[in-house]
Amino acid sequence: MIGVISKVEQKAAVEEFFELFKTPWEYYVLGRSYDVLVTTLGEVPQVKAGLVVVYGAERPEADESIGIGTQGKHSGGYLIHQGFAVPIYGDLATFELEGEFEACVRTKSGIAGLRGVLSTGTSVVRVGYDLFEEVRLLLSTGQPVEHAQTPSLDIHIAMLRDWILGEGIPLLEIPPSPLGHSFVVCLTHDIDFVGIRNHRFDHTMWGFLYRSTVGAVRSFLRRRISVKRLLETWRAVLYLPFIHLGWAKDFWDPFEWYSQVEEKLPTTYFFIPFKGRKGENVPGKNASRRAAAYELADVKAWATILEKAGCELGVHGIDAWHNVEKGKAELKRISEITSAPSNGIRMHWLLRNSKTAAILEEAGYVYDSSAGYNETIGYRNGSTQVFRPLGVTRLLELPLHVQDGALFYADRLDLSDREAEEPCEGLIGIARRFGGVLTVLWHDRSHGPERFWGDFYKRLVGVLKSTDAWFATAAQAVAWFQQRREVLFERLGTGGLRICACGKQEVTLPQLSIRVYGPSVRKDAKSPLDAPFVPMEIAWNERTVIEFNSDLQRISETPSGLSAFGTH
C-alpha cells in the first residue's frame, strides 16, 4: 500500500495519477504503516515504511536532517531516464552527491534525484521536482509541440514503479491493457467531406484543382509522389466534370475504400452534424472553410452499413467545445442516423479551451477525443492512456496520437511515406511498452487524389494487425478503461489486500488482469532480494473478489456478492 501526502490543491492530480498507475494507495493516515510513502510537502512523518519518496524543488527541513545538499534550482529542464529525455515543466532542483547517497535521476545540469538508506533502515528517494504539479500541468495545459513524442506522464509512473521494485518491495497493479494484449488500437475517421460532387466552384474545388496540377508537379519534383501518382492526379482532374454529371465514381467517397482496408476491424467515424455551419468563436484564418457541404441524409445508407459492420458513429463537433446547448443539439442530431445512442465527440479542427471538458460533460458526452496535435503526432497530455480531464467527474478523454495531415501536409511535418514510418513505429513501440491506446485519425479524402495517403495507411494498419493489440471502437476503448477505473482496493487487517471491480461488468469487453511483481527464483540468488522482480499476470474474472496476503500471494477468490464489498 502506498501512502500519499500532498498539497491540498493537488487532490485532483493525485487521484487521477493513481487511476493511471492503478495500484493500491490511500492518503496518509497517522499511525498506519505503508510499504511506500510518497510526499510532495517535504515533511516526512515518523512512519514505518520500506521506502519514502520525497518530491519537490524547495529545500525542506528533512533534507538537512538526512544530509542532502541542494546545488541549485532551475525553471524546467530534462530528466534522463532509460533513453528518454523527459521534460519537467515546473521547478527542478539539483543536488550535491554526498555521504551514503547515490544518484538515481540525472539531468544535463546535474543530479535531480538521490537514493539512500537512513540509519533506521528506511530507504529514501529524494527527487527535485513536484510530481503532482507535473501531472496537473500535463492533464491541463498539456505538452508543447517540441515534446510531443515523449510520454512524460507514463514515464513518471514508470520511474516510481522502478524505485519501488528496486527496494525489493512487491507491487500489484491493474495494467492499462486488456488480458492477452499489450495495447489498444482505435482507428478513427473525421468525415469532413463525403465526395467532391458536393463542391462546385467553391474554395474546396479550386484548391483541389491547384494542388492536382501545380501542386502535383511540385510534389513530383520533390520526390513525394511517383510518375504513376502524378498521372493519376491529372486523370482525376479530367474526370471531375463527369463526376459532377453523375457519370463517374466520386473518388472522394470514403466509405467503400475504408470498409475494404479495415475489413472486420471496428472503426469510429465522426460525422459533422449540420451542413453549412462554420461555427462560432473560430480562431485563426479561413473560418468559413470549416463548414461542411454534406447533409446527414447523404450518408444515412452508409451509416446503417457501417453500424452493421461493428463500427461506431460519433459527433464531429462544431460548437460543442464552447456551448452546452449547441453541444446537446449536435449530439441529438447525430443520434438521428444511429441505431445506438452516440455519446462520443471529436471537435472539428480539434478546437478546445480550458472549459471544454466541463461543457462537453454537461452536454451529455461520455468521451472526447480532441486531445491531440494538428501540427505533429504524439502525446498532448503525455500519456497513452484514456484519462479524466481535471475539473470533470464523468467525461473521459481518449487521446489522439497519429493524424495523417500532421504527417504529410507541407506546412506541418511534411514527411514522405518512408520518412513517416519511423515516428509511427516509435509510437507503436511506446504503446507496446507502456500499454494504453494508440489512436489513429485518417481523414475521409486522404486515400484518394490529390493526397494519395492511402497506401501508407494500408501499411500502417497491416503493421498494427501484426501486433497483439486489441482493436476497438473509441467507445469500446473508453468503456474498457472506465471498467479499469472502477477497480477498488481495500486494506485488510492482516496486512493483506482485497480487490473488487465495482459497477456493472461489460461481458463484451476483454478481461482486466492483475499484475503482481514478485521476486523470481534464481539458483544463484543468495536471498529473495537478489532475484530480479518479474511480473506475473493473473487472469481475473471481475465478477469475483480476490484477496492477497502481505506478500501478495493470492489466498482467496469469491463471487463479488459474497464479499465484504457487498453486491455491486
Question: Tens of pLDDT along 381-404?
Answer: 999 999 999 999 999 999 999 999
- Mark whether 325 and 397 lie in a shared domain: yes
Task: State the Cα–Cα distance between residues 313 and 190, nearest whole angstrom.
Answer: 10
Q: Is residue 567 part of a domain?
A: no
Residue 431: CA count within 13 A, CB half-sphere: 32
- Mark whether 448 and 344 lie in a shared domain: yes
- Mark whether 492 and 469 lie in a shared domain: no
**Structural domain count, the chain:** 4
Last residue of a domain, one of 446, 479, 512: 479
Task: State the Cα–Cα distance between residues 553 and 538, nearest whole angstrom.
Answer: 11
Q: Is residue 8 part of a domain?
A: yes
DSSP helix/strand/coil, 196: helix
- Mark whether 307 and 373 lie in a shared domain: yes
Last residue of a domain, one of 173, 204, 232: 173
User: Does 450 sit behind a cis peptide bond, omega within 30 degrees of 0 on the bond before it?
Assistant: yes
- Mark whether 294 and 370 lie in a shared domain: yes
Which residue from 174, 257, 79 is spatially nearest to 515, judged by alpha carbons? Answer: 174
Last residue of a domain, one of 417, 452, 479: 479
* pLDDT for position 185: 98
* pLDDT for position 394: 96
- Mark whether 155 and 203 lie in a shared domain: no
* pLDDT for position 340: 78
* pLDDT for position 564: 43
- Mark whether 165 and 226 lie in a shared domain: no
Q: Is the Cβ–Cβ distance between 365 and 345 less than 8 Å?
A: yes
Handedness of CA 277, 280, 283, 287 (dihedral sign): positive
Dihedral, CA of residue 240, residue 244, residue 248 and residue 251, to nearest 10: 60
- Mark whether 200 and 71 lie in a shared domain: no
Radius of gyration of the chain (CA): 26
Q: Is the Cβ–Cβ distance between 248 and 449 less than 8 Å?
A: no
- Mark whether 222 and 339 lie in a shared domain: no
The residue range of the domain holding 135 is 2-173
- Mark whether 395 and 451 lie in a shared domain: yes
Using left for φ > 0, alpha for ψ between -120 and 50, and beta otherwise, residue 303 falls in: alpha
What stretches in the chain show pLDDT beneath 50?
521-529, 531, 562-568
Task: State the Cα–Cα distance between residues 126 and 112, nearest whole angstrom.
Answer: 8
Q: Is the Cβ–Cβ distance between 500 and 547 less than 8 Å?
A: no
Which class for 536: exposed (0-12), middle (13-18), buried (19 or more C-beta within 10 A)? middle
**pLDDT tens digits, 548-558:** 888 888 888 88
In order of 217, 272, 318, 351, the CA distances from 334 in angstroms are 40, 8, 12, 19
